[in-house]
Structures are given as C-alpha cells and as structure tokens.
Chain A
Amino acid sequence: MVTLALDTSNGIAVGVTDGSTEMATRRLSTGRQHAELLSPLIDEVLHAANVSPQDITEVVVGTGPAPFTGLRAGLVAARTFAFGRGIDGYGVCSLDAVALAAVERLDLGGDQFIAVLSDARRKEVYGRTYRVSALVPGETADVRLGDIALSPLSEPWVERPGGAVSLIEGIPTVVSPTPLPILEGSGIEVTGDDFVVEPRLLAIIAQQRLAAGVDQPVEPLYLRRPDAQVPGPAKKAV
C-alpha cells in the first residue's frame, strides 16, 4: 500500500507513505498559488520517494476546513489523480491530523481533552475538540496512536474568538498549525502553534478509518456559504 497524501488547508503539504512509514514529504508555506505549485510538489515528492504515479495505490487528502480556493485545488487534484489512476481517494478533516500530531509530540495520555484551532481569516478561527484516552481493548476508537485513542467530540466549526472560548471551555490543551494573533486578548492560551498537517498522519487516520469501515468522502469542509447578495434595484444613471 503506497499512499499519496496531500493537504492544502495550511500551505501545501505532500507526502508518500508505505503503510505508516513516510517515504518522502515536502511542505510549502504559501497561502496562494495552489494551482501553480501543488502538482510540481507532488511530482517532486514522488521522485524523492522513488516511486512512479503507477505505484500509488490510494490518495488521501485533507478536507479542511480552510479558505476555499486553496482547499479546492487540493481536493480536485486528489480526486483527479485518483480518477486518472483508477484508485480510491479518501478525505480526512485536516484538523484531525493536527490533533494527532499533538498527541504524538506532546506525549498526551490518560483521559483528557484537546482543542485544535486554525486560521479561518476574517477574524475567525476554525476549530474542533477531541477526547484523548487510554485505549481500552475491545472498545472502538476513531483513531489510535500506540495505546492512545483519539476521538472527535464535535464537528468542525468556524467561530469568532469569543465564540470559540465557550466551545473549548475547560479544555487544557489547545493547539494550532500556525500562530493565531487573532486570539490575543481572548483568554485562549495556545499550548503549541506549530502542529502542521502532516501527510503521514492523514494517511494513518485514513487507513484506520478504512479498516473500521468508516465512509471518507473527498468533500470540502467549507463551513461558510459563498459571499453573494441578491441585488437591489438598478442605480440611476442620471
């Protein structure tokens, strides 16, 4: 199983994994130019991993939430690459990979809660909350890492910092993929702000959910409606 995993929710991240082993990974911190940069980066990663497109057996993509245009570039590339190769594509909420990175790096154990926040622009943040617990044999967990289980407590949401405060109240560990200056003065203390979306973790999550029979559509988490206003009467010309 050779997985191409990519994410365009926060810059561009592309990786190739064999099972849970990372063969190559690359990251660009751009917030724009996804149409331009994503495919060359995929090409570069395939080359670095010494695999050809024909070797890829599945595609996993971060589905956001994220600003629309960049997010869509990743989703349509994942869908089309999978279509072109005749293989399956799976979508994973990008925030889940951030949460799993925190579990791994902060060595979180026991029974506790974490929140993931990311930049939604327009003075808002995307967020999702999770429960971290010791894996109990026989009990189901959404995602496992060693003997730790990670399970989402909510759907992803988008909120102003004030709204986020109440949604993550009482949660001791708050992490984000990038610094969030917008949280200044909100009372939210961020434990770590460099938990970027790792393609390897997206692949691990997708494989576990696949094994558990969870549906993983490659559908964007926009969380916002398009900006569009029904026009009023025409303006006077004279």
Chain B
Amino acid sequence: MISDEFARNHSRLSAVNEPLVLGIESSCDETGVALVRGQELLVDAVASSVDEHARFGGIIPEIASRAHLEAMIPTLERALSTADVDLGEVDAIAVTAGPGLIGPLTVGVSAAKALSLATGKPIYGVNHVIGHAAVDQLVHGDFPDEFLALVVSGGHSSMLLVDDIATGVRELGSTLDDAAGEAFDKVGRLLGLPYPGGPHIDRLAREGDPEAIRFPRGLTAAKDQAAHAYDFSFSGLKTAVARWVETQRAAGKELPIEDIAASFAAAVADVLTAKTIAACDRNGVDTVVIGGGFSANSQLREMAQQRCTEAGITLRIPPIKYCTDNGAMIAALGSSMVTAGVAPSALDFGVDSSMPLSITHV
C-alpha cells in the first residue's frame, strides 16, 4: 500500500548526528509539539485541556479529543515560529503511538502522518512511557550505558531497565492496579479536594506527620518478592485510606487531613523508592532516572534523593515542566532513534492504547 516514493524517502534517512526532530504528543489531555536538535530542546509548546475536565473529576476522553483537534495546528504553528524553524528543515517527525486514550492518540497520529505525507519527512510512532525517561537527556545529557527508569504518572507506574533508550528497554515491573498519580487523585476525591488531587495532597502533606498513620505498603511483603519484586499495587492503599477516613467520620472525629495526606504520600513514596533502590542493587545499576507527571511529587523527590545518596546511586529527575506530558519527551525519543539509525515506522501503524513497554517504536 505504501508507494515507492514514500518508501524511498524513508529509507534515505541514515543515522544523523544532530537530527532536527519534531515531536507530537496527544495521549491524554495535553497537546504537545516540540522541536529537538540532537539533545538540545529548541521549543516545547503545550496546550492543555485539564481545566475542562476538572468538574468531572477525571479526564473525559471525548472532551480531550475535541481539544486536541482544535489545538493541533495552533500548537504546531507556535512551536515552529518560536524556534524559527521551517518545516522543510525538520529531519524526522516523532509521535506518540501509545499507550494512552484511543481518541486523543488518534488525533496526534493522524496529524503526524498527514504532516509526514505532506512534507515527505520520515515518521516514528513511539512509546509515550519511554518518552518520559528519554526527556531527561535534554536536561542532564547522555545516559550512562545502563540505568533504571521509574516512570510514574496518573496513568503509569513502571520500572524499566534501559541499556539504550532507542533500542534496548526492558520492563522490570509495573503497577498491577492503580497508577501512583491515579491513587493520589482518588484519595484527593475521598478527602474532598479538587481534581486533580495530586498537587493538593502534596501541599497538605508538607504540613502533616508522615508517620501519624501507618498505611500499608503494597507488594513489599517477603512473600511478594519472588513474583512482584518490581511491581506496584496502590489500590489496597487507597482502600485503606478510605476505611480509615470512614471510621474516623463514623466516630464523629475531625479528620487530621494534613496527617492523612502526609502518611498516604509517605506510603506511596516509600514503596516506589524502596523498590527502585532494591532493583538497582539486584541489577548492578548505579543511575536512576525518574520521569512522568507524578515525579513532581515532593515526598517522592525528597525520599528518592535521600535514599539514592545513601546507596551511592546517581539520581536524575528532570524539572517538573518536563515531567508532565509534552512534545519534548517524544522529540527526544525520536531524536535518539534517528541517531541510533532506527528505521522509521511504516505509514500504516495504528494507535495502541495499551502499548507494551517492550515496544519502543512501532
């Protein structure tokens, strides 16, 4: 189905040292377009529909999809004009092919493919979760030969062993139920906080006692170490918080909301960091990269820094603006692929809402 001309254009691209890559992200509620040259970020333009979802207490895929359609061209224009780049100068286009919400992904992938067709530029359909780790190259430079990546967000909680971000990513484990950020949003709702609950709990937690209430640490028991050493489970924790709150309310007691937030946040940060440090030890790795929207969480940042320092592990966390969904992470991963000489995607790739982490690109 692919014409000869298209195939020729695409095979012409050999490994380029400092490729100029346009990245497009639309897996959830952020429309992101960024330009990266090699490992240098030229522009990162993002349009978000998060405010439109707030009153529903969660992302409504159709609302997000409609916003992506409206934001796509303005965001593209903004990125190109801010960086003063002409589309003709771009070496390749990278786009999130999954995982994510089908409707939103369909907008970004359809846009990127049409742009690829119109301009003759090769296209890479890439994995969003791996992009959350890849973006750190733009901030902290080259990755070491091997490192561990913890990607935590409202939709994902995964641990990756990476020896090449473009070609060699292995999933060690992931959440069996809720993602870390998702647990925060659910507990936020339970405590009557506005959506998204993460930042509110974070703020309250700073004023509370993290040891006031001992909430459970999922999958940390000795019996879980054989099958789930690298996996997470936050659903039980969320239920434990709900039970504790209901018991207090039933007894007519006032809720120590700061202590609940602090103790809950500490449980999440404890599990994430303890498992990450143990994974480094088991795999002989001395660098950790943390990415994804939940890496904005201050308890996680502090605990990860403290435990990594104690264990002699180098910790890399990009600034918060690069942890949330954006085009920069996709452009960064695309740039790594072009540099590594990875072949572009065929034009007939689809979107994959549950794209496994064994797939860096389609």
Query: Which A residues lie at the B interface, using CB under 8 A?
Result: 33-44, 46-47, 52-53, 68-69, 72-85, 220, 222, 226-231, 234, 236-238
Contact = CB atoms under 8 A, between A and B. Distances in A.
Given A69-B65, A83-B73, A84-B118, A230 B55 contact: yes
A80 B115 contact: yes
B73 A222 contact: no
Contacts of A82: 118
A35 B349 CA distance: 8
Q: Is the interface of A mostly helix, strand, loop or mixed?
A: helix
B3 A46 contact: yes
B156 interface: no
Given A36-B349, A228-B60, A73 B106 contact: yes
A50 to B, nearest CB: 10
A229 B56 contact: yes
B246 interface: yes
B111 interface: yes
Nearest to A237: B242
Nearest to A47: B3
Contacts of B116: 39
B57 A231 contact: yes
A117 B146 CA distance: 59
B115 A72 contact: no
A81 B56 contact: no
A231 B59 CA distance: 12
Contacts of A236: 242, 246
Given A80-B72, A238-B243, A69 B103 contact: yes
Contact of A39 (B56, B113, B189, B351): B113
Interface string B327-362: 000000000000000000001111100000000000
29 contacts: A33-B350, A35-B105, A35-B350, A35-B351, A36-B349, A38-B114, A39-B113, A40-B347, A42-B114, A43-B1, A46-B3, A52-B5, A68-B66, A69-B102, A72-B65, A76-B68, A76-B72, A77-B110, A78-B114, A79-B111, A80-B110, A80-B115, A81-B118, A83-B73, A230-B55, A231-B56, A234-B242, A236-B246, A237-B239
Nearest to A53: B118
B143 to A, nearest CB: 31
Interface string B61-75: 011011011001100
Most B CB within 10 A of own CB, among A35, A40, A230: A35
Most B CB within 10 A of own CB, among A37, A68, A76, A78: A76
A34 B63 contact: no
Contacts of B120: 53
Contacts of A41: 1
B2 interface: yes
Nearest to A227: B62
Given A38-B110, A229-B56, A68 B65 contact: yes
B300 to A, nearest CB: 25
Nearest to B60: A228
A160 B349 CA distance: 36
B114 A81 contact: yes
Given A231-B57, A237-B242, A35 B62 contact: no
Given A47-B5, A83-B73, A36 B351 contact: yes
B108 to A, nearest CB: 8
Nearest to A42: B117
